[in-house]
Amino acid sequence: MLPKRSWSTRTVALNGRRGPLGQSLGPEPSPSDIPWLFVAYDQLNESLLTSVTNRLGKVGLIFVESKEKAEKRPYHKQKLALLLSNMRHFAVEMVEQGWPLLYLSTTGSYADALKDTMGDGHVHAIAPAERELRVDLSAMVDQGQITLHPHTGWLTNQTWFVESVGTEPPFRMDSFYRRVRKETGWLMLDGQPMGGGYSLDAENRKPWKGEPAAPQPPRFSADKIDEEVHDMVNACFQHHPGVVDLEALPTTAHQAQEALAYGMEWLAWFGPYEDAMSERSRTLFHTRLAPLFNLHRVMPIEAVTRALSCEAPLNSIEGFVRQLVWREYVHHVHEVTDGFRTLDVHREPAVRGARWGEWVAHDDELHPNHLEQRAPLFPAYWGQESGLRCLDANVEAVMDDGWTHHIPRLMVLSNLANLLDVDPRELTDWFHAAFIDAFDWVVEPNVLGMGTFSLGTAMMTKPYVSGSAYIHRMSDHCSSCSFHPKKTCPITRLYWAYLNRHRDAFAKNHRMSMAMRNASKRSEETQAEDAAVFASVQSALLEGKSLVDASGTLHEFIH
């Protein structure tokens, strides 16, 4: 029941107010006896709502914008704008469908807004994907003020995960992926995987040399609600990084479908070039659908269904399906470990806030840090030029778009932080703030568990690190870099220094045995030179200096 209210200064209703959103929502709904459902910011799909109404009958909807949440991290302006504009458009779409709806803005938390609205009353909610939101609402759930309903937006259930992987490490994707394929029948024929294997990843590792021509990412028409969000983000969050460009992102239901169609149109080329990187095309053939999946603007099952029926090669379809199952896998890992808090791993305190300007926060938690990496995040990750073109080009993309695809995230942005012993929690906080598709359940497993080695072997058998050879082979960054990939680039020496610096941690890891043998074959003099390069590069980047001076002269490294 929605009670009569006298609004506090903390929480206000936006219904009926001036501006495109308020006018589109219409007047504030009158008190009524129907149940009310809180719709979280990442549950923007009517099918999720109807899964609740099938049990409750007619319900009213409550949406909340929380300034406290928006200011918790230095979120990229584009990320805030994407979420807010999609939430506002979805609310208007639901009003147009006839749903009673109350749209709230609060300076407090989501729980604060619901308490201000419902008093001692009761509200329903769909189980939040984000742990952070579950914690915010937990007291109201425990007190019986919120009834949680199942989230029907996932492709898989936790039973499949627990039965195939378990609730204790080591967690491995392969057994879960096989279980999902068998349960669903996706890409299966007579009980066997099509193509002869569950993963066709070996066919998806081609560098891109310019052919076939990569498409231009779609652009979308901005309407008055987009313009209102653009102005609001720039006015209220001017101290955040990045810029707002809502013509680059889908914000309406129709535009979300256009984005899905774009992704499927180019899926044929996604597979072979999914690991390629290029400055000529930041997107290449990637669908860029993850932000829409994570808001549930496009339902993952809809994308899988479209992919399975499209005329693309098997390796492209399988690669796309595997990425969606990976998304499910990391969600399950995060949930069964309470965001890794139940894992018995080495932990250390960390500075929070990703070192954006004056935004330095602390907490009382200890965070996973298997290799005891303690360097602060470098200014280069916020756009200060490093002189390493691969790093600078990808940070530039993040600052512009709030996005890069998975290989720059893993093999450049995470790799270099790893090689330079950046605190894994600080790097994770940066990804969380800077990427438009980052939420705690997806960013923490991908960065703490995979991009860094902070969980040890709990999620990965070995760290994902490399020297310059991989970047040279899979990208065109080296062609415009001041460093020569084989002669002067420091990244390969950073790789060898990393292995030797952490040799004790890798000594019993059979997946690292060959790399460690090769590292041990380097002479004592060479190892000392590797260590000197590490110290020199780390020191320069910590000070915000470029490894190439203004005249184009390279920092002096040993070769």
Q: 362: pLDDT confidence band, cut at 50, 70 and 90?
A: confident
Percentages helix, strand, coil for the chain, rounded to the nearest 5?
50, 10, 40
Mean pLDDT for 297-311 is: 97
166 by DSSP, 3-state: which?
coil
Quote the tokens at residue 478.
């080296």
Q: What is the DSSP string of 443-495?
A: HHIIIIIIIS-TTGGGT-SS-----HHHHHHH-SGGGG-SS-TTTT-SHHHHH
Tell me what pLDDT residue 334 has. 98
| Beta strands per DSSP E along 77-211 | 101-106, 123-126, 146-149, 188-189, 192-193
Please give the Cα distance from 328 to 484 (Å, whole number).
40
**Domains in the chain with CATH codes:** 11-149 (3.40.50.620), 158-215+266-331 (1.25.40.80), 347-542 (1.10.579.10)
Q: Are 36 and 2 in contact (CB under 8 A)?
A: yes
Q: Which of 313, 327, 341 is nearest to 161 (CA)?
A: 327
* Residues 179 and 157 sit within 8 Å (Cβ to Cβ): no
Tens-place pLDDT, residues 318-341: 999 999 999 999 999 999 999 999
Q: How far is CA 63 from the centre of its chain?
A: 23
Which one, of 3, 39, 41, lies nearest residue 439 by Cα? 41
d(CA 125, CA 63): 11
pLDDT of residue 550: 62
To the nearest whole number, what is the mean pLDDT of the chain? 95
Tokens of 543: 């000070």
Predicted confidence (pLDDT) per residue in 239-295, tens digit: 999 999 999 999 999 999 999 999 999 999 999 999 999 999 999 999 999 999 999
Identify the band that residue 517 occupies on the pLDDT scale cut at 50, 70 and 90: very high
Alpha carbon distance 142, 339 (integer Å)? 20
Over residues 109-134, the mean pLDDT reads 96
Query: Which one-letter amino acid corresponds to residue 462?
Result: K
Does position 167 have pLDDT exceeding 70, yes or no?
A: yes
**Band of residue 557 on the pLDDT scale cut at 50, 70, 90:** low
pLDDT digits (tens, 9 = 90+) for 7-53: 567 999 999 999 999 999 999 998 778 999 999 999 999 999 999 99
CA 503, chain centre distance (Å): 31
The pLDDT of residue 4 is: 53
Cα distance between residue 258 and residue 250, in whole Å: 8
d(CA 254, CA 86): 11
Whether the per-residue pLDDT at 6 is higher than 60: the answer is: no
Q: Are 516 and 524 in contact (CB under 8 A)?
A: no
The rounded distance, in Å, linking the Cα atoms of 498 and 484 is 21
The pLDDT of residue 99 is above 90: yes
C-beta of residue 69 within 8 angstroms of C-beta of residue 44: no
User: Higher model confidence: residue 559 or residue 496?
Assistant: 496
Tally of CA atoms within 13 A in the half-sphere of 284 that contains its CB: 28
Distance (Å, rounded) from C-alpha 359 to C-alpha 351? 10
- 438-441: long-range contacts, CB 8 A cutoff, minimum separation 24: 438/79, 439/42, 439/129, 439/130, 439/294, 440/130, 440/131, 440/132, 440/334, 440/339, 441/129, 441/130, 441/131, 441/330, 441/331, 441/334, 441/335, 441/339
DSSP three-state, residue 56: helix
- Greatest C-alpha distance within the chain: 79
Contact (Cβ atoms closer than 8 angstroms) between residue 268 and residue 312: yes
Model confidence over 410-466: pLDDT tens digits?
999 999 999 999 999 999 999 999 999 999 999 999 999 999 999 999 999 999 999
Residue 393's H or E segment, with its range, is helix 389-401
Closest C-alpha among 80, 87, 70, 68 to residue 24: 87
Return all residues near 430 (Cβ < 8 A) that are at least 6 apart.
354, 355, 377, 381
Token representation of residue 346: 């080495």
Q: Please tell me the predicted confidence (pLDDT) of residue 358.
A: 77
Supply the pLDDT for residue 31: 75
Residue 126 carries which DSSP code? E
Would you give the DSSP letter of residue 28?
P
Residue with tokens 């209220």: 236
**Percentage of the chain exceeding pLDDT 90:** 94
Q: What is the 3-state secondary structure (H, E, C) of 254-301?
A: HHHHHHHHHHHHCHHHHCCCCCCCCCCCCCCCCCCCHHHHHHCCCCHH
pLDDT confidence bin for 559, thresholds 50/70/90: low
Decide if pLDDT at 196 tops 80: yes
What pLDDT does residue 303 have? 98
pLDDT of residue 555 exceeding 70? no
Determine the residue type at 330.
Answer: V
Among 432, 216, 407, smallest CA distance to 319 is for 407
Closest CA relative to residue 423, chosen from 511, 538, 540: 538
C-alpha closest to that of 40 among 99, 141, 107, 124: 124
Residue 76: pLDDT over 90: yes
pTM: 0.97
